[in-house]
């Protein structure tokens, strides 16, 4: 049995979405900017998708800019706002300390070219507290960016409150909603944000396509310059098949959310979480007590290196990820868990399970069943941290 | 049977993994990330690590085996790099590969392998493990005499050897490359590594200076009679037996004969002054678990590229041993290993502490 529990990394494309992707790729090769009928058909596919994506987040179609994915959307939001603000007195960017690297490293890069940057702390549940923003924000703040749901622990941030504070200082508010879109209802009005990033492959769409929603009237400079696509805000020939498939994924997600389909995922997640915490000794839930997206759980396993547990689980056909960003081979403790004030030990022993539409009760029960044995084996046979010799 | 293959991305460990996979064994490829690869990112193109890990992954993919990169930076730093720096600053010439084999591959990696249900670790060393009639394990030289690496494995004990597999031990290097060619492995023609993996430019002195907490101490260069004939910027820049880079003009070739880190003195002399008949070793490992009788006749090898010389060995207290050579040996270098052989079999070995 192969069990995929890493949906926050990416999700399998939904069969109906795949059909649309293939059909567009095969048959609709027209350039959406072309005047002729080939172009018109392509353009209508993009327009349909724009309406679907806007509908999913409660925005207007003309407020959607299609991009290559979440990272580009984050870059466009931050760099695009920064560039328009460059001529004003606003020289400060504020983000949370648990943002995705796409936000963190973009802001750090701008910090090196003269921008003042502030990284907001989080509490031990992984929540940005609004008081911290109230203290940090200044009249010269151009943009505040706080993610909607965290990718590692799934905590949902108090975006409306944070956005309200931001607006009182006349600054713009961006949220990276890559990990919440499609998982929970997302409404740009309710969130009160000015910019919102989303990514197709996190909710059963294809990779390489995403969107940035920009509230009508917000000033934003293009970071990708060239042709006049996307209302002059994102140059380059549209990825028509990808965009069309993103639209299909958005419609699928909206339909699922309309029938509260996310509750099934929450039930499975809770079953997994309760089962692992009850059956494996020495486990602790990270982000406990906070509002979380329904598909994510992050658990620390005492006396087990997360890296070893990930491999041992993979050898059993179970795909999870570590809280640490060690895909590149560097073992940096998770900046998210560190920001929550967790001990280095606990940050290095954490595993993220993230569920999706394809998971079943039988799969979750299988994981709960074999988990104690795997962890016990690692604890007894594989001495975590072999003795250091002088 | 499940087996972990330690894969560095070189041709030897790749073929070792291939041989096991082709036998139908349940092979898991593991590569050790030993130092921060972001350093490599900055000097992209000069550092081999990223490419090596990439090569290991490509080989595993061709073999159809799972492959993982595990992070052993902390262990490598604590067990291997720190010791390397300390030894050089103490006026000795270390062999980090021995510690990497004993403390990482056959300790930490073996521990991890057990956790994954693999009781055995296979490496690409040219050495053999043979089980004797009494059930004990013998460590023997690889059959390719020019590539034999048993010298680097002398610290292994019985429980480690019981879990070690060296699939290349009975092969010649040419055959290994041919196997890689036939198996269409992308590393088939990859050159053998010449330098220490963590000092790819071979500049040990600069590496030590960057890592050490103590400031390198300048000192005198003296001749055998104790006359000062030059000066230097730190003993870590020298090794016993070294001739080049002394910065002294002399009618006869001069060699480093001794290093005294405490006084900072480098002693130089003519070649014959390098010869010694007796050495003392510390931290001696006896592969069988038991030392041989006093004055036991063996062949002692004092460097990787040294032809083992006839000698007798006597185990002393506190893990030490004395080796008396039949004929005086040139450049017995503190910090290097002395390994005791009986024919092809490694009886044990230790770290050279002094000679006289």
Whether A390 is covered by a domain: the verdict is no
Nearest CB to A329; choose among B53, B103, B116: B53
Cβ contact, residue pair B115, A329, below 8 Å: no
Cβ contact, residue pair B71, A311, below 8 Å: no
Tell me the mean pLDDT in the region A149-165: 97
Q: For residue A253, which phi and psi values (nearest 5 degrees)?
A: -65, -40
C-alpha span between B18 and A123 (Å, rounded): 50
Same domain, A195 and A265: no
Chain A residue closest in CA terms to B111: A382
The shortest C-alpha distance from A302 to chain B (Å) reads 15
Helix H or strand E segment including A53:
helix A37-57
What pLDDT score does B345 carry?
98
C-alpha span between A200 and A214 (Å, rounded): 17
Same domain, A141 and A160: yes
Buried b (16+ CB within 10 A) or exposed e, A359-374: beeebbebbbeebbeb
Which among B202, B261, B206 is positioned nearest to B235, based on CA atoms? B261
Predicted model pTM: 0.89
Show pLDDT as tens, one digit a residue, over chain B (356 residues).
Answer: 899 999 999 999 999 999 999 999 999 999 998 886 554 444 443 334 668 889 999 999 999 999 999 989 889 999 999 999 999 999 999 999 999 999 999 999 999 999 999 999 999 999 999 999 999 999 999 999 999 999 999 999 999 999 999 999 999 999 999 999 999 999 999 998 877 888 888 899 999 999 988 888 899 999 999 999 999 999 999 999 999 888 888 888 999 999 999 999 999 999 999 999 999 999 999 999 999 999 999 999 999 999 999 999 999 999 999 999 999 999 999 999 999 999 999 999 999 999 98
pLDDT at A329 over 60: no
Whether A193 is covered by a domain: the verdict is yes
Same domain, A98 and A162: yes
Same domain, A241 and A366: no
Of A257, A286, A316, which one is at a domain's C-terminal end? A257
Tell me the mean pLDDT in the region A172-192: 98
Cβ contact, residue pair A388, B78, below 8 Å: yes
Q: State pLDDT tens for residues A47-58.
A: 999 999 999 999
Same domain, A26 and A133: yes
Q: For residue B292, which phi and psi values (nearest 5 degrees)?
A: -80, 175
Chain A residue closest in CA terms to B28: A315
The verdict on ipTM greater than 0.90 is no
Beta-carbon count within 10 A of A193 CB: 30
What pLDDT score does A386 carry?
38
Superfamily of domain B215-269 in the CATH hierarchy: Adenine nucleotide alpha hydrolases-like domains (2.30.30.280)
Q: State pLDDT tens for residues A257-270.
A: 999 989 999 999 99
Q: Given pLDDT bands bounded at 50, 70 and 90, which one contains residue A288? A: confident
Q: What is the DSSP letter of B271?
A: G
Half-sphere exposure at residue A57, Cβ-oriented, CA atoms within 13 angstroms: 35
Of A192, A225, A257, which one is at a domain's C-terminal end? A257
A359: Cβ contacts below 8 Å, ≥ 6 apart: A3, A4, A5, A265, A268
Q: Which of residues 304-343 of A touch B (CB under 8 A)?
A: 307-308, 311-312, 314-315, 326, 328-331
Q: How many domains does chain A have?
A: 2
A381 at interface of B, judged by CB pairs closer than 8 A: yes
Q: Which domain holds residue A185?
A: 15-257
Same domain, A215 and A351: no
Q: Given pLDDT bands bounded at 50, 70 and 90, which one contains residue A334? A: confident
Q: State pLDDT tens for residues A56-100.
A: 999 999 999 999 999 999 999 999 999 999 888 999 999 999 999
Q: Domain of A136: which CATH number?
A: 3.40.640.10
What pLDDT score does A389 carry?
33
Whether A74 is covered by a domain: the verdict is yes
Q: Given pLDDT bands bounded at 50, 70 and 90, which one contains residue A385? A: very low
B contacts of A386 (beta carbons < 8 Å): 75, 107-108, 111
Chain B residue closest in CA terms to A313: B116
B2-182 has CATH 3.40.50.620 classification: yes
B contacts of A315 (beta carbons < 8 Å): 28, 66, 116-117
> What token pair was written down for A169?
């200082």
- Specify the fold of B274-355: Elongation Factor Tu (Ef-tu); domain 3 (2.40.30)
How many beta-carbon pairs below 8 A join chains A and B? 57
Identify whether A326 is a catalytic site residue: yes
Catalytic residue set of B = 100, 197
Task: Choose the mutation target among A386, A387, A388, A390 for the interface with B, i.e. most B CBs under 10 Å.
Answer: A386
Nearest CB to B115; choose among A312, A326, A389: A312
Same domain, A249 and A277: no
Same domain, A148 and A253: yes
Same domain, A353 and A252: no
Any idea where the domains of chain B sit in the sequence? 2-182, 215-269, 274-355
The shortest C-alpha distance from B227 to chain A (Å) reads 37
The shortest C-alpha distance from A208 to chain B (Å) reads 24
Cβ contact, residue pair B79, A388, below 8 Å: yes
Same domain, A216 and A275: no
Kindly name the residue from A236, A326, A379, A382 that is annotated as catalytic: A326
pLDDT at A12 over 90: yes
What pLDDT score does B38 carry?
52
A382 at interface of B, judged by CB pairs closer than 8 A: yes
- Burial of residue B15 (CB within 10 Å: 0-12, 13-18, 19+) is buried
C-alpha span between B206 and A209 (Å, rounded): 47
Same domain, A242 and A98: yes
Find tokens 């103490």 and name the residue: B90
Same domain, A133 and A57: yes
Of A257, A276, A303, which one is at a domain's C-terminal end? A257
Looking at every residue in chain A, the average pLDDT score rounds to: 93
Nearest CB to B66; choose among A315, A377, A381: A315
The shortest C-alpha distance from B33 to chain A (Å) reads 6
The shortest C-alpha distance from A330 to chain B (Å) reads 6
């Amino acid at each position: 049995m192969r069990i995929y529990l890493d949906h926050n990394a990416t999700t399998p494309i939904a069969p109906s979405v795949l059909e649309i992707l293939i059909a567009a790729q095969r048959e609709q090769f027209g350039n959406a900017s072309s005047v002729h009928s080939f172009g018109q058909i392509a353009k209508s596919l993009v327009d349909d998708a724009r309406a679907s994506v806007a509908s999913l987040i409660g925005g207007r179609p003309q407020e959607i800019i299609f991009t290559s994915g979440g990272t580009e959307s984050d870059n466009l939001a931050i760099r695009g706002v920064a560039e328009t603000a460059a001529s004003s007195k606003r020289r400060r960017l504020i983000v949370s300390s648990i943002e995705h690297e796409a936000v963190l490293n973009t802001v750090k890069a701008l910090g090196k070219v003269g921008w003042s940057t502030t990284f907001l702390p989080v509490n031990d549940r992984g929540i940005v507290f609004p008081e911290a923003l109230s203290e940090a924000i200044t009249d010269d703040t151009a943009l505040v960016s706080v993610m909607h749901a965290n990718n590692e622990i799934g905590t949902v941030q108090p975006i409306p409150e944070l956005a309200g504070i931001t607006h009182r200082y006349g600054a713009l508010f961006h949220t990276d909603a890559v990990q919440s879109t499609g998982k929970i209802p997302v409404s740009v009005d309710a969130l009160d944000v000015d910019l919102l990033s989303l990514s197709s492959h996190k909710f059963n769409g294809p990779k390489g396509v995403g969107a940035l929603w920009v509230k009508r009237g917000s000033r934003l400079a293009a970071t990708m310059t060239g042709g006049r696509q996307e209302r002059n805000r994102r140059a380059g020939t549209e990825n028509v098949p990808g965009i069309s498939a993103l639209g299909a994924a958005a419609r699928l997600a909206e339909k699922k959310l309309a029938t509260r389909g996310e509750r099934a995922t929450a039930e499975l997640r809770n079953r997994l979480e309760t089962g692992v915490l009850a059956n494996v000794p020495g486990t602790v839930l990270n982000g406990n007590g906070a509002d979380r997206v329904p598909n994510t759980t992050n658990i620390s396993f005492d006396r087990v290196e997360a890296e070893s547990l990930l491999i041992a689980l993979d050898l059993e056909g179970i795909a999870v990820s570590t809280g640490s960003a060690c895909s590149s081979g560097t073992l940096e403790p998770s900046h998210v868990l560190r920001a929550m004030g967790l001990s280095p030990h606990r940050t290095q022993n954490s595993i993220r399970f993230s569920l999706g539409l394809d998971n079943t009760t039988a799969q979750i029960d299988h994981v709960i069943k074999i988990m104690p044995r795997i962890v016990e084996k690692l604890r007894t046979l594989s001495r975590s941290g072999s003795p250091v010799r002088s | 049977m499940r087996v972990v293959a330690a894969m560095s991305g070189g041709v030897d460990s790749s073929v070792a993994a291939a041989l096991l996979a082709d036998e139908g064994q349940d092979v898991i490829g593991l590569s050790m990330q030993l130092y921060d690869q972001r350093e490599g990112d900055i000097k992209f193109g000069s550092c081999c690590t990223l490419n090596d890990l990439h090569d290991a992954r490509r080989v595993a993919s061709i073999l159809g085996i799972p492959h993982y990169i595990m992070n052993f930076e902390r262990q490598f730093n604590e067990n291997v790099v720190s010791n390397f720096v300390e030894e050089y600053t103490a006026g000795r010439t270390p062999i980090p590969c021995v510690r990497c084999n004993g403390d990482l591959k056959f300790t930490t990696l073996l521990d991890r392998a057990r956790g994954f249900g693999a009781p055995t670790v296979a490496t690409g060393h040219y050495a053999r493990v043979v089980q004797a009639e009494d059930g004990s394990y013998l460590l023997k030289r690889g059959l390719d005499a020019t590539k034999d690496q048993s010298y680097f494995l002398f610290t292994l004990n019985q429980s480690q050897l019981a879990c070690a597999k060296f699939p290349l031990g009975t092969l010649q290097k040419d055959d290994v490359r041919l196997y890689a060619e036939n198996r269409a492995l992308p590393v088939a023609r990859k050159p053998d590594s010449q330098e220490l993996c963590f000092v790819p430019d071979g500049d040990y002195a600069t590496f030590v200076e960057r890592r050490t907490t103590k400031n390198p101490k300048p000192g005198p260069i003296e001749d055998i009679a104790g006359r000062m004939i030059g000066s230097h910027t730190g003993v870590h820049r020298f090794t016993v037996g070294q001739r080049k880079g002394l910065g002294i003009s002399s009618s006869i070739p001069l060699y480093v004969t001794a290093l005294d880190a405490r006084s900072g003195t480098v002693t130089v002399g003519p070649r014959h002054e390098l010869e010694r008949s007796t050495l003392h070793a510390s931290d001696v490992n006896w592969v069988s678990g038991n030392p041989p009788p006093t004055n036991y006749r063996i062949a002692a090898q004092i460097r990787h590229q040294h032809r083992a010389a006839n000698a007798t060995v006597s185990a002393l207290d506190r893990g030490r041993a004395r080796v008396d050579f039949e004929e005086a040996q040139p450049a017995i270098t503190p910090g290097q290993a002395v390994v005791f052989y009986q024919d092809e079999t490694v009886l044990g070995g230790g770290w050279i502490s002094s000679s006289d």
